[in-house]
Amino acid sequence: MSERPTLIPGCRRILHGGDYNPDQWLGTPEILDEDFRLMELAGCNAFSVGIFAWTSYEREEGRYDFGWLDRLLDRMARAGHRVMLATPSGAKPAWLSQKYPEVRRVDRHGRREPHAGRHNHCWSSPIYREKVAEIDTRLAERYHAHPALGLWHVSNEYSGECYCDLCLASFHRWLEARYGSIEALNEAWWTSFWSHTFTDFEQIDPRDRSIDALGLDHRRFNTDQVLDFLRWEVAAIRRHSRDVPCTTNLMGTFAPIDYSRLVSAVDLVADDQYPGYSPDDPMLERTVRRVSFKSDLHRCFKPERPWLLLESCPDAPQWKHPVRLKRPGLHQAEMLQALGHGAEGTCYFQWRKGRGGGEKLHGAVVDHVGHEHTRVFRDVAALGACLNKLEPIIGSEARARVALVFDWEARWAFEASEGVKSTRQEYEEVCIDHYSAFARQAVSVDVIDSGRDLSGYALVVLPQLFLLRPGVAARIARFVEQGGVAVATYYTGYVDPSNRCFTGGFPGDGLMDVFGIWNEETDWLTDGVARRVAVTEDGLRRGLEPSYEAQGVCAVVHPRGARPLAVYAEDFFRGTPALTEHRLGRGRAFYQATALGGEFLRAFYAQLVDELSVPRALGGELPPGVAVQRRARGEREFLFLQNFSGAAQRLTLPGAYADLLSGDALGQALELPAWGSTVIASRGGS
Ligand code: GLA
Ligand code: GLA
């Protein structure tokens, strides 16, 4: 069995620590001394340093001073801590903005932004690139062999668009490269609509969203700009530091950037998560599944290695309203949820609360009071102790036989298309609806984009896969023919990569034959209105209830080889199928013509999970708010259990386990208190 890579090569510890800004405290060295004492007490071992420290290294153009960082890294090394050294490009010095206005972004209205905030530099500015490469290269040259250096933390939460002349010209060149000729672009974009036919690339204005393919391409372009910038920074680091892994912190399912492509430029995946679990959140169950969904997405970006929760909050972020404190126990539960989904590090924003600035009241390990005798500090220290006991999980992996396709391009096309975008069938939400049905059954799900290989999965779910990239439909067909089970919903297969509708019937590009139906039209029900759906004999045999309520949208479909498992019982489309099954080759393809709710999804997928012998981490259905993840290394299995339900829960265990935190052997049942969590390991095995 080959060893899975660890986050930091050669470091077999679960990373625990966070964003550390000693550059804000250089005038009070006693605070830094105190930090090192507290780091020990908190059981922290990894710190992101220098994220916004550019002016502390280069106070004036070309005059560098890394003295404080030298001393800090030496001290980190002596303490045995690892540093995730940041490149400081996320916030630019004022002197840079002043001297080179081109580094400042231009907004959609053509206005050059003032020097303010952060995360707002131009992606194209040659000066900004040059200055960033210079500082990144110097950092890499100076610290590449430093024993404290563990990872490169490239920039911070890349985001945003720039509309300056340089970025505009770059967009035009990008379009030229993509289409080759203006005629090909006109054809792809359907520009005869509203007389938009272009005769020159220079005429194209990215703010014109009436051609929805233009908007789609501008999002692709923006992803490419960010990707190019990230590659630029990685290349600057690589001039001197070849072996230390690079990462950049992402933001969950951040809509504007196609993360499935961005991650190609980094060695490992890092995500920032602030779920803000609150006892009186009416959507608590949803929040639990949403967090799991995002974690599985990030796990699957690079399934061959662990990912890193690079930012989370040990307490409450100041920007959540209301600012709810973490309930006792919750901190551990939240961190174990990330680890259960394949993370091997849980870090915080931030180590110590600053005295000023917009984040002075953001939760941190060390409060303004300055000592360790706070509830939050104790919770963090308790987690530090718990992570030491969890070291056996290092190198284990989550395995899934179910894949759910979450695709940025499909989402963009859906959200750009009038007529579907406001149906409340929001792309991400619908994906989470389906994902949640599996999570409630403790079934592990890979969340992947549509470009990925499907072979190897037993079941593939395609919620609203509105846009089909070339080859995707053929891959789905092959998957089914060879024995796989595919499930698609309404709004699958409407458009090609230029957001042009497929002709010849939906779902297009050959999927009508795969699902054995034709989706003729879709009725969008008024909020609060439902249509009754009656389950057929075939459907009842699949364990479904006799009737359900359709909400949201009702697609009117005609079978072309598929059998109805449920039909609409009302309205003019009464008797037409609401749910179908089609046999194709050795597999089956199901089509959900409408949304029948969480209970339906759970019953429907439970049956498929049983039929396909997809493993569940625990038997039966989990109570709302309870989450379970499974990781395994060889024969050894680890179950991560969290109770976010706000009430005690009793879980029945499927075998012989020991509690990894207490060391106790467990019986058939395990009681988890409200906000309780633990990790249990199968007994036997190594
Ligand atoms: C108006 C316009 C048409 C078309 C329709 C759509 O009537 O004149 O060009 O946009 O709205 O409803
Ligand atoms: C983001 C940023 C951090 C900090 C936190 C606050 O994740 O990356 O610098 O601003 O938000 O929650």
With a cut of 90, say whether residue 383 has pLDDT above it: yes
Residue range 285-335, pLDDT digits in tens: 999 999 999 999 999 999 999 999 999 999 999 999 888 999 999 999 999
Identify the CA nearest to 167 among candidates 104, 94, 247.
104
- 106: which strand partners? 112
Name which residue sits closest to atom 10 of ligand 2, judged by CA: 359
C-beta atoms surrounding 299 within 10 Å: 26
- 19: which strand partners? 48
Name which residue sits closest to atom 12 of ligand 2, judged by CA: 317
What is the per-residue pLDDT for 1?
Answer: 53
Residue range 62-99, pLDDT digits in tens: 999 999 999 999 999 999 999 999 999 999 999 999 99
Query: How many angstroms separate the alpha carbon of residue 547 from the centre of ligand 2?
Result: 46
With a cut of 50, say whether residue 410 has pLDDT above it: yes
With a cut of 90, say whether residue 421 has pLDDT above it: no
Best residue among 84, 250, 311, 321 to mutate for probing ligand 2, ranked by most atoms within 8 Å of CB:
311
- 447: which strand partners? 404
Helix and strand numbers, DSSP H then E, in the chain: 18, 28
Phi, psi at residue 463, to the nearest 5°?
Answer: -75, 125
DSSP class of 570: S
Q: How many CA atoms lie within 13 A of 413 on its CB side?
A: 24
Residue range 496-523, pLDDT digits in tens: 999 999 999 999 999 999 999 999 999 9
Best residue among 23, 52, 87, 157 to mutate for probing ligand 2, ranked by most atoms within 8 Å of CB:
157
Identify the CA nearest to 535 among candidates 580, 598, 485, 488.
580
Please indicate whether residue 157 is annotated as part of the active site: yes
Find the mean pLDDT for residues 259-276. Answer: 97
How far, CA to CA in Å, does 541 sit from each of 204, 532, 653?
56, 19, 29
Q: What percent of the chain has pLDDT over 70?
A: 99
Instruction: Tell me the ligand closest to 317's alpha carbon.
Output: 2
CA distance 304 to 292: 19
* Kind of pairing between the strands at 649-652 and 58-60: unpaired
Query: Quick one: which atom of ligand 2 is closest to the CA of 317?
Result: 12
C-beta atoms surrounding 180 within 10 Å: 10
Q: What percent of the chain has pLDDT over 90?
A: 96
Instruction: Write the burial class of residue 478 (CB in 10 Å: 0-12 exposed, 13-18 middle, 19+ buried).
Output: middle
CA distance 275 to 500: 37
Phi, psi at residue 366, to the nearest 5°?
Answer: -105, 120
What is the per-residue pLDDT for 3?
Answer: 86
> Which residue reads 């633990």 in tokens?
678
At residue 459's C-alpha, the angle toward residues 454 and 463, to 5°, is: 85
What is the per-residue pLDDT for 686?
Answer: 41
What is the per-residue pLDDT for 684?
Answer: 67
Catalytic residue among 285, 311, 344, 409: 311
Return the HEC string of 65-85. Answer: CCHHHHHHHHHHHHHCCEEEE
Please indicate whether residue 311 is annotated as part of the active site: yes
Instruction: Tell me the ligand closest to 91's alpha carbon.
Output: 2
Query: How many angstroms separate the alpha carbon of residue 504 from the centre of ligand 1?
Result: 25
With a cut of 90, say whether residue 279 has pLDDT above it: no
Residues 550, 533 contacting (CB under 8 angstroms):
yes
Query: Quick one: which atom of ligand 2 is closest to the CA of 157?
Result: 8
Q: How many CA atoms lie within 13 A of 509 on its CB side?
A: 21
Query: Quick one: which atom of ligand 2 is closest to the CA of 249?
Result: 8
Query: How many angstroms separate the alpha carbon of residue 573 from the centre of ligand 1?
Result: 28
CA distance 301 to 342: 11
> Which residue reads 């030229």 in tokens?
176
* Kind of pairing between the strands at 459-462 and 402-405: parallel
CA distance 96 to 93: 5
Average pLDDT, the chain: 97
At residue 524's C-alpha, the angle toward residues 521 and 527, to 5°, is: 170
Name which residue sits closest to atom 7 of ligand 2, judged by CA: 272
What is the per-residue pLDDT for 509?
Answer: 98
Query: How many angstroms separate the alpha carbon of residue 157 from the centre of ligand 1?
Result: 41
With a cut of 90, say whether residue 685 has pLDDT above it: no
pTM over 0.95, yes/no: yes
Residue range 447-503, pLDDT digits in tens: 999 999 999 999 999 999 999 999 999 999 999 999 999 999 999 999 999 999 999
CA distance 391 to 526: 52
- Residue 111 tokens, joined: 């206005």
Best residue among 153, 308, 349 to mutate for probing ligand 2, ranked by most atoms within 8 Å of CB:
349
Query: How many angstroms separate the alpha carbon of residue 10 from the centre of ligand 1?
Result: 64
What is the per-residue pLDDT for 472?
Answer: 98
Cα-to-chain-centroid distance, residue 560: 37
Q: Which residues contact 181 (CB under 8 A, 6 or more apart)?
A: none
Query: How many angstroms separate the alpha carbon of residue 195 from the centre of ligand 1?
Result: 14
